[in-house]
Structure 1
């Protein structure tokens, strides 16, 4: 059995778990269904009021008309849902439903017009029948346009319904001015319903396009960072490897002639190899370090863009670089978790500089389902390992009131040799990088890099 109050919060959680495009799509779908309900209440209300009057066409014909209106509403709701899926490319075009809705709309219109006796049964009865006639035609035309993508087809559909209503009214014996008025009212009401449906579809498409654009921007940012990293590696490795290849070739030629300069060239190759290792480590370390100020600004911008009210407080200056780098990684992972694993509406990030330590807290109200214990995701495990290298700690978990709290504490004077930005093994790698290269029996002298011309001098 779940915790007390869990079932009450479940509908809200169902809604909060949806992405923004999914929320807008659900809102659009239920708006279409609400329009169908409005049609049934207004048209059905007119017919029920007709039965309450003394003068009416009779309970039998009125009941038949009410059943036709109810069937029209049901078909309209199903068509609206299927047409929305078709507009999003998830379903084939509901052609059969379109024809069925058109046939039922024509049946309702024909039945309503046939019951109008132009004042012989009473003006009120004729008014109720004509009102139901107009309402069904307007909503029928508006729902039909959901199955069209061509703007000209949409306008033609609205104009066709209006012209058909006027022709039907005139054929039933109504005078020409009255038939024109009916056609005008149907055209205005049809235009209103149609524009409402089309505006909802346009808004839904815009939201999906914005979401796709955001994903594309994220992929482009990742691709740009990969290109930058590859360019930096090429700049470092390309030059040094070219020189190493040249010197190795020169050393081979010298060794083949038993020249003592071959040892000197190999020592130079060794030095260049160690230098290349050091430069590659510097590139990777710079790539993996995180700046606290940049991460705080980036987290605030990303969360705000996602519709989350994000507040950042506290100083982020005056801390050692390795401490800022470690806390920057915490901010980055925490912001990612808020976006991916919950549906928060508020998030507060605070940096406090206490006596001898720096404390970072990230508090949000988007507790994911099933989050009963402390956070144990792979990202949080990596953060704990990263903070442990500089004597820091990390605590993360729900607080029991629908909120999730992440707290990171780091000594404000972390050891200088701790590689907070380079992963679990960065300390050992950094210490090995600081060691001078040990000659392997080839001598310790080094020479300046040779050029291609020096290689030509030994060629007989």
Structure 2
């Protein structure tokens, strides 16, 4: 039993917040008919007294109320799916069966009042109808406009009160009956509908966030393509013209063909240098820039991001390596965590070693503990004698990413080769690495892509 409970708890924690809200809302709605049943039916039972037929009719009312709860649970589930669009055909037989059951219950209660076997001086008999009315109106309210369902419910409450009046109920009991039925009917209509509307809004926000992420990536790719076009367009046109001119001169045996080809070679080298400069500017990672970008992006996503920086003096290579840690950490907080708070600490010890710690409270149980993202960060930090550790605190649901760079790290080793040291093919491949904004909205790049942790 304990193992079963722990497994259910781990399965629950692996769900996203949206999934947790949806599941809890579904269960709350499906429990609501039984809550009304338990709150109403006992109060009806204590108001019935008489010979054996009265007890039989009372038992029939209890059974019909139980049957109506079963129909209400199934109808609410299908009605909620219809409202959210996951089921196209609205339930029709279930509301009809629930209405028939409710009318039979109403007839039996009215008969008990008419025979004097149920109290006619208080709204106690109406509690039998209160036990099943919310489930009936809830299913109906999810499939038709609220005004229509509210109007029909109000008319039904008036007709039931009139039937009780014809059976001999007193005026105080009739007023109480009308009030009880009106409250139960309206709660049954608007409570499931409000919950369904709430889930629909959450789904739309989740879809909008994904669309915004894809749009940000597409915009960044367009920007980069425009930069490449502006840099390469003119040079490639000149290279094509000069190559064509050199071909014609060579066919004529002119000595100036060699000069034209030399100019083509110089233009090609110049274009290569400019492309590398574009790629280098696109891929460079500054620590201060990444810290500011991470804070802005996380706060925009509803995560409270605090930065505690000691302003350590680091070399450019060490700053770039730690900037990648900040970028990857912010990416994973948005993509793989359900965090409400993220703290970034940048400290420096007595030996001038710098430590960067990123801690968030959105750890999910049962997630993959490894990935290419951490491996890529370790490789970048190793180039400056740095280290990287990832810690998981299952109890507090904390994930902690710690990177350390020694004081000599910025001088002892060279960083991984950048685009200016790579060939044209490698430089072109590196052009696909987006900046923090893209990584933060979920695109992930290079070796820092696909990490799956809190």
* Matched position secondary structure for 1:361: strand
Matched, 1:386 2:380: yes
- Contact 1:255–1:262 (Cα < 8 Å) also in 2: yes
Counterpart pick for 1:15 among 2, 12, 15: 12
Matched, 1:58 2:54: yes
Instruction: Give ranges in structure 1 of 5+ residues lacking alignment.
Output: 434-460
Residue 376 of structure 1 is matched in structure 2 by 370
- Contact 2:61–2:128 (Cα < 8 Å) also in 1: no
Instruction: Give ranges in structure 2 of 5+ residues lacking alignment.
Output: 427-454
Distance 2:304 2:10 in 1: 18
Question: Pairwise mapping of residues 30-179 of structure 1 onto structure 2 (< 5 A)?
Answer: 30-50=27-47, 58-91=54-87, 92-117=89-114, 120-121=116-117, 123=119, 127-148=123-144, 150-172=145-167
Distance 2:46 2:296 in 1: 57
Matched, 1:250 2:248: no
Kindly indicate whether structure 1 or structure 2 has the higher relative contact order, using CA contacts under 8 Å at least 6 residues apart: 2
- Contact 1:350–1:360 (Cα < 8 Å) also in 2: yes
- Contact 1:367–1:403 (Cα < 8 Å) also in 2: yes
Q: Compute the displacement of 1:410 (Å).
A: 2.5
- Contact 2:123–2:177 (Cα < 8 Å) also in 1: no
Q: Compute the displacement of 1:198 (Å).
A: 2.1
TM-score, normalised on structure 2? 0.81
* Matched position secondary structure for 2:422: helix
- Contact 1:16–1:343 (Cα < 8 Å) also in 2: no
Q: Compute the displacement of 1:86 (Å).
A: 1.9
**RMSD, aligned CA:** 3.4
- Contact 1:347–1:363 (Cα < 8 Å) also in 2: yes
* Matched position secondary structure for 1:50: coil
Select between 327-336 and 268-277 the one with higher mean Cα deviation.
327-336
Counterpart pick for 2:227 among 220, 225, 232: 232
* Matched position secondary structure for 2:410: coil
Alpha carbons of 1:203 and 1:272: their partners in 2 closer, same or farther (altered >3 Å)?
same
Distance 1:255 1:15 in 2: 75
Residue 444 of structure 1 is matched in structure 2 by none
Superimposed CA distance per residue, residues 436-457 of structure 1 (whole angstroms, 9 cap, x where no aligned partner): xxxxxxxxxxxxxxxxxxxxxx
Q: Compute the displacement of 1:343 (Å).
A: 4.1
Superimposed CA distance per residue, residues 120-163 of structure 1 (whole angstroms, 9 cap, x where no aligned partner): 44636863212322443344213321233x34433343334334
Alpha carbons of 1:68 and 1:432: their partners in 2 closer, same or farther (altered >3 Å)?
closer
* Matched position secondary structure for 1:116: helix
- How many residue pairs get aligned? The number is 421
Alpha carbons of 1:411 and 1:232: their partners in 2 closer, same or farther (altered >3 Å)?
farther
Residue 297 of structure 1 is matched in structure 2 by 292
TM-score, normalised on structure 1? 0.80
Residue 337 of structure 1 is matched in structure 2 by 332
Q: Compute the displacement of 1:235 (Å).
A: 0.6
* Matched position secondary structure for 2:47: helix
Alpha carbons of 1:411 and 1:229: their partners in 2 closer, same or farther (altered >3 Å)?
farther
* Matched position secondary structure for 1:349: strand
Counterpart pick for 1:311 among 302, 306, 325: 306
- Contact 1:32–1:197 (Cα < 8 Å) also in 2: yes
Superimposed CA distance per residue, residues 200-240 of structure 1 (whole angstroms, 9 cap, x where no aligned partner): 22222221111111111111111110110111011111111
Q: Compute the displacement of 1:185 (Å).
A: 4.7
- Contact 2:54–2:112 (Cα < 8 Å) also in 1: no
Select between 304-313 and 356-365 the one with higher mean Cα deviation.
304-313
- Contact 1:108–1:136 (Cα < 8 Å) also in 2: no
Distance 2:126 2:370 in 1: 66
Alpha carbons of 1:307 and 1:30: their partners in 2 closer, same or farther (altered >3 Å)?
farther
Distance 2:413 2:258 in 1: 35
Distance 2:425 2:338 in 1: 45
* Matched position secondary structure for 1:360: strand
Distance 1:184 1:399 in 2: 53
Q: Compute the displacement of 1:260 (Å).
A: 1.9
Residue 266 of structure 2 is matched in structure 1 by 271
- Contact 1:418–1:427 (Cα < 8 Å) also in 2: no
Larger Rg: 1
Alpha carbons of 1:233 and 1:381: their partners in 2 closer, same or farther (altered >3 Å)?
same
Residue 343 of structure 2 is matched in structure 1 by 348
- Contact 2:346–2:355 (Cα < 8 Å) also in 1: yes
